[in-house]
Amino acid sequence: MKAVLSKALLSRAAKPLLFLLCLAPLAWLVYAAATNHLGANPAEALIRRLGDWTLRGLWLTLTITPLRQLTGLAALARFRRMLGVFTFSYASLHLLAYGWLDMGLVPADIAADIVKRPFILMGFTAWALMLPLFATSFNKAIKALGAKRWQALHKAVYAVSVIALLHFIWMRAGKQNFAEPAVYGAILAVLLGWRVWKRLRA
């Protein structure tokens, strides 16, 4: 079974399939926006759903290493970079949708809102920390930085995930809705806890 899964993960079709799967939520959102299927407040729905897919992308990216270690499927590592790039893309669209649909792309208003509202500040901080990770997600950047420095830089994804979760929690706090953030928090605790446990064992 392991050999079959490994062969499938190493096949030429694996990455194009993952690409299409990552693109599917955006395609659905574009279709839903064009056909008025985003509910009574389409702007808010679009912003929030792009944010939801950013969190899911982050969590999936963080899942690759534990899943690889548990299953012994080393081929899973080849998908981590694509997931990271798509996660940054969804985060950027989330930020763009907020700046455009909520703030009318007025830089002064966006800057004032970032300073005024903590959850907006957390979201922007998470995006800003993801920017250098995206910029160095290519082979030339890895060679230029060196493997050790590149790995050290990309450990910032742990800080990004915590800050993104805070952004989500504070955003939902206004409506006293903590059920979904609690689920995301529990998953993140497992993902980060696994890494701490492995480090302590080592």
Between the alpha carbon of residue 5 and those of residues 9, 67, 72, 82, 147, the distances in Å are: 6, 13, 11, 19, 28
pLDDT computed for residue 156 by the predictor: 94
Q: What is the mean pLDDT of residues 168-175?
A: 85
The closest of 126, 107, 129 to 118, measured between CA atoms, is 126
pLDDT computed for residue 44 by the predictor: 94
Q: What is the mean pLDDT of residues 153-160?
A: 94
pLDDT of 174 strictly over 80: no
Q: What values do phi and psi take at 11, rounded to 5?
A: -70, 160
Query: For residue range 70-106, what is the model confidence (pLDDT) as tens digits?
Result: 999 999 999 999 999 999 999 999 999 999 999 999 9
Read off the pTM: 0.94
- Sorted by where each begins, the domain ranges of the chain are 2-201
